[in-house]
């Protein structure tokens, strides 16, 4: 059982207050994100057909929940892991104008997740995708988008404080940027999670660039599928990667806490290169990949922002089960109850 009980932990909010605060946080953040990035809300699927390449493969090892559809001759559908690729298809199919985008409430099931304080079978996030102009395909533009998202995070932190003064703002004024390669150079004897711990503790909020490509030690900072984020293009500083993760310091659990994964999406060259790197060139024959290589999709930037993660962070909760309803091992549930952690 992977469970951390913070010493002398007591929730700042009652269960009733927590439910009200969750709605406030979600409503405020969603509307502000939409206006900040010029995003239109769209309705999204819970499941997609197997064998089309539309589902997110995450690290390539997680099993999607699947089922046969009786009235469709046994067609197999998969519960989404995320909508990383589906969104880009919708940018094209909905005819979204340049510099605008879409967002949606994404609900997913990840049964292979290792359950602990911050990981659940149930995943809820805002998935967003925005048209990228050719001249914007750069790390500088990606940083601009990160800063705008961080500004929304900061505004939400202030609204929580206005309504619940006992929850004092702690985020820094600016988010810090560092490439995963630089992070490795700074902490060569630490693993990826330990490196994230050190940089998040030092800066409060950080965007770690270049997730997916092998670093100087021959290993990636973290896994990334080959067919949505561009993690293999070389940038002006000689490093690789046009993607990254927003990570903040969690004061309750005292850990590095990922809130968002995002990046500039693959073009045809990056897709072929990354499929080759991961030995998955056969995916070029799947629906999503064939349409991308045929030039049917616009250039885009996008990502996912964890809804429960944000609520857990802003409301200073010790367990993600305090802000979402899911399933937990009996031993974990009992230990939480004894420790004053009320799981929904």
Residues marked as catalytic = 56, 110, 125, 245, 258, 261
Q: Which residue is associated with the tokens 């057909």?
A: 49
* Contacts of 324 by beta carbon, 8 Å cutoff, 6+ apart: 120, 122, 124, 308, 311, 344
* Contacts of 13 by beta carbon, 8 Å cutoff, 6+ apart: 21, 164, 315
Q: Give the full edge-to-edge strand order of the sheet including 176-179.
A: 39-41, 101-109, 122-131, 300-306, 255-264, 243-250, 205-209, 176-179
Q: d(Cα 292, Cα 118) in Å, to the nearest integer?
A: 34
DSSP E strand stretches across 253-307: 255-264, 300-306
Q: d(Cα 278, Cα 320) in Å, to the nearest integer?
A: 33
- What six digits make up the tokens of 309? 């993660």
> b or e along 275-289 (b: 16 or more beta carbons within 10 Å of the residue's beta carbon)?
beebebeebbebebb
* Contacts of 298 by beta carbon, 8 Å cutoff, 6+ apart: 88, 91, 92, 96, 131, 132
* Contacts of 262 by beta carbon, 8 Å cutoff, 6+ apart: 142, 145, 146, 149, 229, 243, 244, 245, 246, 301, 302, 303, 304
Q: Which 8-state DSSP code applies to residue 135?
A: G
């Amino acid at each position: 059982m992977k469970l951390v009980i913070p010493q002398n932990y007591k929730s700042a909010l009652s269960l009733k207050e927590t439910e009200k605060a969750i709605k406030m946080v979600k409503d405020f953040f969603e509307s502000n994100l939409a206006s900040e990035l010029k995003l239109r809300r769209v309705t999204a699927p819970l499941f997609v057909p197997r064998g089309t390449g539309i589902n997110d493969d995450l690290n390539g090892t997680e099993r999607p929940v699947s089922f046969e559809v009786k009235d469709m001759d046994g067609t197999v559908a998969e519960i989404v892991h995320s909508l990383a690729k589906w969104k880009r298809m919708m940018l094209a199919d909905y005819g979204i104008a340049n510099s605008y985008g879409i967002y949606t409430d994404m609900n997913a099931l990840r049964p292979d997740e290792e359950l602990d304080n911050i990981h659940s079978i149930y995943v809820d996030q805002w998935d967003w995708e925005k048209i990228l102009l050719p001249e914007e395909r750069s790390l500088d533009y990606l940083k601009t988008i990160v800063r705008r998202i961080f500004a929304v995070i900061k505004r939400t932190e202030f609204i929580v404080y206005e309504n619940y003064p006992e929850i004092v703002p702690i985020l820094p004024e600016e988010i810090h940027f560092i490439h995963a390669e630089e992070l490795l150079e700074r902490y060569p004897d630490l693993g990826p999670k330990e490196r994230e711990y050190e940089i998040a503790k030092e800066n409060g909020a950080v965007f770690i660039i270049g997730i997916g490509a092998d670093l100087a030690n021959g290993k990636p900072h973290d896994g990334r599928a080959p067919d949505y984020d561009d993690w293999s293009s070389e940038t002006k500083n000689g490093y690789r990667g046009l993607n990254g993760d927003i990570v903040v310091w969690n004061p309750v659990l005292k850990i590095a806490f990922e809130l968002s994964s995002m990046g500039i999406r693959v073009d045809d060259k990056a897709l072929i290169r990354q499929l080759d790197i991961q030995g998955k060139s056969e995916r070029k024959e799947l629906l999503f990949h064939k349409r991308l290589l045929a030039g049917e999709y616009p250039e885009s930037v996008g990502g996912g922002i964890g809804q429960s993660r944000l609520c857990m962070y802003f409301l200073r909760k010790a367990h993600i089960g305090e802000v979402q309803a899911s399933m937990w091992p009996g031993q974990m549930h009992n230990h939480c109850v004894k420790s004053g952690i009320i799981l929904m």
